[in-house]
Structure 1
Amino acid sequence: MNVAFDHLVHLTERPEQAKGSFEQLGFTAIHGGRHEAWGTYNALCYFAPLSYIEWIGIADEQTANACQNPLIARLVADRQEGNGFSQFAFRTNDIQQLAVQLKSKGFTPIGPFSGSRQRDDGKLLTWAMLFIRDDTDGACRYPFFIQWDERDDVRMNELAPLMRHANGAPSLSSVSVYVRRLDRAVNSYRRLFDLPAANVGRDEAGTYAELTVGGVSLRFSQADEPSSTRPFACRIVGSKLQRRLELAGGTYIFSEL
């Protein structure tokens, strides 16, 4: 499956405050805009090669609660637990073919769904999203997939200034995820992405099983019951920072390597 890591979704009541916290650390971060059909708005921080963190908040509760898009439904449900990371997405350049591949592997794709956001400069951004029905009995949550209506090279050229940061040349290295059944979660992701056996490692959160997909490492940690299956930390490497930031229910770990 030919995909690249696209973005990590961080649910927060105040995306603008998360943006400000990153700016204070020397990151370039921007106000994104409103998703009128979803009742949400966001702020963004981009990294080479074309990945980003999305801080997303609810602007219109009535619209968000009625929205049928699985991403927004998940955000509304996660909001009951509080702020924190929610989901992550992989980018594809052929979402229809991806749906066919998923079906051939026994998965049930949901969508595609269309999405749009109008930037402050008036430009309308559009994309398509594809989700997967849970077949793990809640052992983990699957990522979703996104196809932008502009080519990667066009987006790379336009977003290049936003990938320059005063604190170095940072990139998103890993996402740590809690799962309820470690073996089942890892095997489901291996089947999804055609991956070899997971590596075992240890970091600040303890022992994890690691799979590398689309340029990022996914680190799966067994959750103590009862617990959610949300991502709980991400590592950003390549900056001059050596610190840990607890921000709106999510943990950011910054290091040179």
Structure 2
Amino acid sequence: MLELDHIAVLGETLEEAVHVVEDALGLPMMHGGTHERFGTHNMLLGMAPLLYIEAIACDPAAPPPPDPRWFGLDDFKGPARLDKWICRVPDLDAALRALPMAGRRVELSRGVLRWAMAVPQNGQLPFDGMFPALIQWHDDVPPPGKSMTGAPVQLQSLTVRHPDAQALEALLKPHLQAPLVGFETADKAGLAARITVNDEVCLL
């Protein structure tokens, strides 16, 4: 079963991605860290219910990774924007048997956090990047969505837009348990999040 874990704002630089989040929500993001395996770095912001927002970009201080970066970051261009959604699964191998287009299993860690991620060989998720990335957190410590609580930020809805949104929804429907996620047919692929901060509606 796929459950919404977090959403990601991508940028050509981390500063640009962080600015988009902080400008939209009026709250500072927290230090995340680096991902040596894919040469990226991030910052985070907790969000109810047990979710979080990630700002992520290529790390200019990191050596090039051995293969394409996750989230299609090697080819990301233009303004920083909400561009990816990530779903957690209890068993990544089982999820990949059901949805092999999600990619290959890659084991990752940062500090005390350990997780496995499905990453396509070319770094590009299907449906122009609108297919969810799949993650399985290992149980050593609480993942960010559970540890970063207390921020007055609440996700109200996440809309996945794509010219073939109906096909994407049909593909995911047997596996997806994410009532805040909706699908909308649109000319251009993209994501839109409706978020409240202290009961004030913000759009990301």
Q: Same fold (TM over 0.5)?
A: yes
- 2:95 equivalent to 1:98: yes
Question: 2-side partners of 1:194 and 1:112: how far apart?
Answer: 21
Q: Which residue number corresponds to residue 54 of structure 1?
A: 54
Q: Structure 1 residues 20 and 49 mapped into 2: Cα distance closer, same or farther (>3 Å)?
A: closer
Other structure's SS at 2:114 match: strand
Q: 2:105 aligns with which of 98, 112, 121?
A: 112
Q: Structure 1 residues 16 and 131 mapped into 2: Cα distance closer, same or farther (>3 Å)?
A: closer
- 2:178 equivalent to 1:214: yes
Q: Structure 1 residues 186 and 124 mapped into 2: Cα distance closer, same or farther (>3 Å)?
A: same
Q: Which residue number corresponds to residue 175 of structure 1?
A: 158
Deviation digits for residues 93-135 of structure 1, max 9, x if unmatched?
A: 1111112223xxxx54421112222xxxxx3322111257999
Q: 1:149 aligns with which of 130, 133, 138?
A: 138
Other structure's SS at 1:68 match: coil
Q: Structure 1 residues 85 and 76 mapped into 2: Cα distance closer, same or farther (>3 Å)?
A: farther
Question: 2-side partners of 1:163 and 1:175: how far apart?
Answer: 20
Maintained 8 Å contact 1:126/1:148: yes
- 2:162 equivalent to 1:163: no
Q: Spell out the pairing of 1:1-257 with structure 2 (5 A cutoff).
A: 2-12=1-11, 13=13, 14=15, 15-18=17-20, 20-21=22-23, 25=26, 27=27, 29-60=29-60, 63-64=63-64, 67-71=67-71, 74-77=72-75, 79-102=76-99, 107-117=100-110, 123-131=111-119, 141-150=130-139, 154-155=142-143, 159=147, 162-165=148-151, 168=152, 170-181=153-164, 185-194=165-174, 213-223=177-187, 227=188, 229-231=189-191, 233-237=192-196, 239-242=198-201, 244=202, 251-252=203-204
Q: Structure 1 residues 109 and 84 mapped into 2: Cα distance closer, same or farther (>3 Å)?
A: closer
Aligned length: 199
Other structure's SS at 2:200 match: coil
Q: Structure 1 residues 172 and 67 mapped into 2: Cα distance closer, same or farther (>3 Å)?
A: farther
TM-score normalised by the chain length of structure 1: 0.64
Unaligned runs of 5+ in 2: none
Other structure's SS at 1:75 match: helix
Unaligned runs of 5+ in 1: 118-122, 196-211, 245-250, 253-257
Q: Which has the larger radius of gyration?
A: 1
Q: Structure 1 residues 132 and 173 mapped into 2: Cα distance closer, same or farther (>3 Å)?
A: farther
Amino acid at match of 2:171: R
Maintained 8 Å contact 2:39/2:69: no
Q: Structure 1 residues 53 and 64 mapped into 2: Cα distance closer, same or farther (>3 Å)?
A: farther
Question: 2-side partners of 1:37 and 1:216: how far apart?
Answer: 31
Q: CA deviation at 1:60?
A: 2.5
Q: Structure 1 residues 16 and 189 mapped into 2: Cα distance closer, same or farther (>3 Å)?
A: closer
Query: With CA pairs under 8 Å and 6+ residues apart, which has the higher RCO, 1 or 2?
Result: 2
Question: 2-side partners of 1:16 and 1:132: how far apart?
Answer: 25
Question: 2-side partners of 1:19 and 1:237: how far apart?
Answer: 13
Percent sequence identity is 21
Q: Which residue number corresponds to residue 204 of structure 1?
A: none
Q: Structure 1 residues 16 and 237 mapped into 2: Cα distance closer, same or farther (>3 Å)?
A: closer
Q: CA deviation at 1:220?
A: 1.9
TM-score normalised by the chain length of structure 2: 0.78
Q: CA deviation at 1:178?
A: 3.1
Maintained 8 Å contact 1:10/1:86: yes
Deviation digits for residues 41-74 of structure 1, max 9, x if unmatched?
A: 1111112332111001222287457533442xx1
- Alignment RMSD: 3.3
